Structure 1
Amino acid sequence: MWQWIKTLYHRLGSPKWFYDITNRWIPWLVAFSAIGAAVGLVWGLAYAPADYQQGNSFRIIYIHVPAALISQSAYLMMAVAGAVFLIWRMKMAAWVARVIAPIGASFCLIALLTGAIWGQPTWGTWWVWDARLTSMLLLLFLFFGVMALQQAMETEEAGHKASAILALVGVVNIPIIKYSVEWWNTLHQPATLKLTEKPSMHPDMLIPLLIMIATTYVFFALLVILRTRNEILWHERKRSWVKQLLEN
């Protein structure tokens, strides 16, 4: 098992191998994303029963929760990729961290916007300086900071190093986001899904939410792969295999 993981790790560090292997994955990821989004959104927005307290306004959960989860997961993945680059100087890790930043920022912005839309009928206001909202806003600024450092340094390698360090420092914000509703008195409702507790949602509401979460993770993977492939083509453009690929 360990040998397999080690082999996979070294293969993923090869731009050509990554480009070739992901070419087989893309059609499956596209198909799953399209089918999952169609099923999850239609089920959640059209057929799931209305919430007994919030009515139909709760339906934004099928976009808000997946976006919020992805934004936090994206930050952790970006930080891990940054750590791999700092420790082992793997260029593929630096490229992956680079492409994750704007994708994660986009999902974080979607989470904040949908949360504001959800909060207006629920709380009577678009925004409050709630612990959960404030920590999510800080997450967005961290994504922006990572992207800014990647561009601000004199050399690309220096940008990778600086942004990786910031990403690792910012990881402390992730548990704050997760436990903010437990550590402080907030308007934000507790977590909808918990690994240690049975879901309180009705299955007709829960199943489409799980479908949307899984679909969003697959869509996120698709975006990361596509943008990483572009990074590979740009950085490896002088390699013979890229020249041959572009000629064909």
Structure 2
Amino acid sequence: MWAFIHKVGSPKWFYAISGRLLPWCWILAVGLILVGSLWGLAFAPADYQQGDSFRIIYVHVPAAFLAQSIFVSMAVAALVFMVWKIKVADMAAAVMAPLGAVMTFVALFTGSVWGMPTWGTWWIWDARLTSMLILLFLYLGVIALRGAFASRDSGSRAASVLAMVGVINIPVIKYSVDWWYTLHQKASFSITSRPSMPVEMWWPLLLMVVGFYAFFIAMTLMRTRSEILRREAGKHWVRELAAGGA
């Protein structure tokens, strides 16, 4: 088990295996997002109460899911780095943070746009919205900490601690609509229970959610590979790779 963990954590091994996976992840992500968005925006029926304004769900829900999942993934990678000192885990955590911040902003922005015709206001200090705003600040804090120290290792450790502590906000986001009175509706999408919407609306949403996750995996692999080359530039195998590419 430990040998496998350290093999996966080897920059050279990770770079090689991720290069094989990356094209398939991009094909899956682009294909699902194109089909899901076309289906949801052009062919799914309008909502009987919200009309066509509900269609923002096909961006809002996947972005909100991904914003939370990326932070959990980042916290797990941070834990692996802190416990087993695996460099690739820290590299992955570093490249996840900006994407997570973007997804959180997209979720907040699309939620505000959706809230105007639904609630009659762009923003309200609702439990779900407030906890998502805190998530954005946590992402920005993790990014800032990495650049706040002269030593990269010190910045990595500080960012890892914040990620592991900040992950407690994720269940608050998830269960806020159950724990407190909130204007935000309960989950519209679940793979473990009967859909709360017609299947004609649910299927394109499923495709978008899976497509967004494939996009996250592809972006993480691509940017981690770039980070490996940057950090391992002095290693013999990287110089050989550069010479071969030239």
State whether structure 2 residue 119 is matched by structure 1 residue 123.
yes
State whether structure 2 residue 177 is matched by structure 1 residue 177.
no
Equivalence for 1:231: 227
Code of the residue aligned with 2:97 in structure 1: it is A
Equivalence for 1:59: 55
Shift >4 Å, 4+ stretches: none
| Secondary structure at the counterpart of residue 222 of structure 1 | helix
Match of 1:31 among 22, 27, 51: 27
Please tell me the root mean square deviation across aligned C-alpha atoms, in Å.
Answer: 1.1
State whether structure 2 residue 186 is matched by structure 1 residue 190.
yes
Overall identity of the aligned pairs, in %: 53
TM-score by length of 1: 0.96
Which residues of structure 2 form unaligned runs of 5+? none
Residue 7 of structure 1 and its aligned partner are, at CA, apart by 4.7
TM-score by length of 2: 0.96
Report matched runs for 1:15-164 at 5 Å.
Answer: 15-164=11-160
Query: What is the count of residue pairs matched by the alignment?
Result: 244
Q: Deviations over 1:37-56 (max 9, x none)?
A: 11100000000000011110
Equivalence for 1:222: 218
| Secondary structure at the counterpart of residue 152 of structure 1 | coil
Code of the residue aligned with 2:14 in structure 1: it is F
Equivalence for 1:168: 164
Code of the residue aligned with 1:166 in structure 2: it is L
| Secondary structure at the counterpart of residue 147 of structure 2 | helix
Between 1:224-233 and 1:28-37, the stretch displaced more is 28-37
Query: Quick check: 2:189–2:202 contact (8 Å CA) kept in 1?
Result: no
Which residues of structure 1 form unaligned runs of 5+? none
Q: Deviations over 1:150-198 (max 9, x none)?
A: 1101211111111111111111110110011111111111111245531
Code of the residue aligned with 1:81 in structure 2: it is A
**CA spacing shift, 1:101–1:156, aligned 2, 3 Å:** same
Quote the Cα distance in structure 1 between the aligned partners of 2:62 and 2:155. Answer: 30
Quote the Cα distance in structure 1 between the aligned partners of 2:93 and 2:29. Answer: 22
Higher relative contact order (CA 8 A, sep 6+): 2
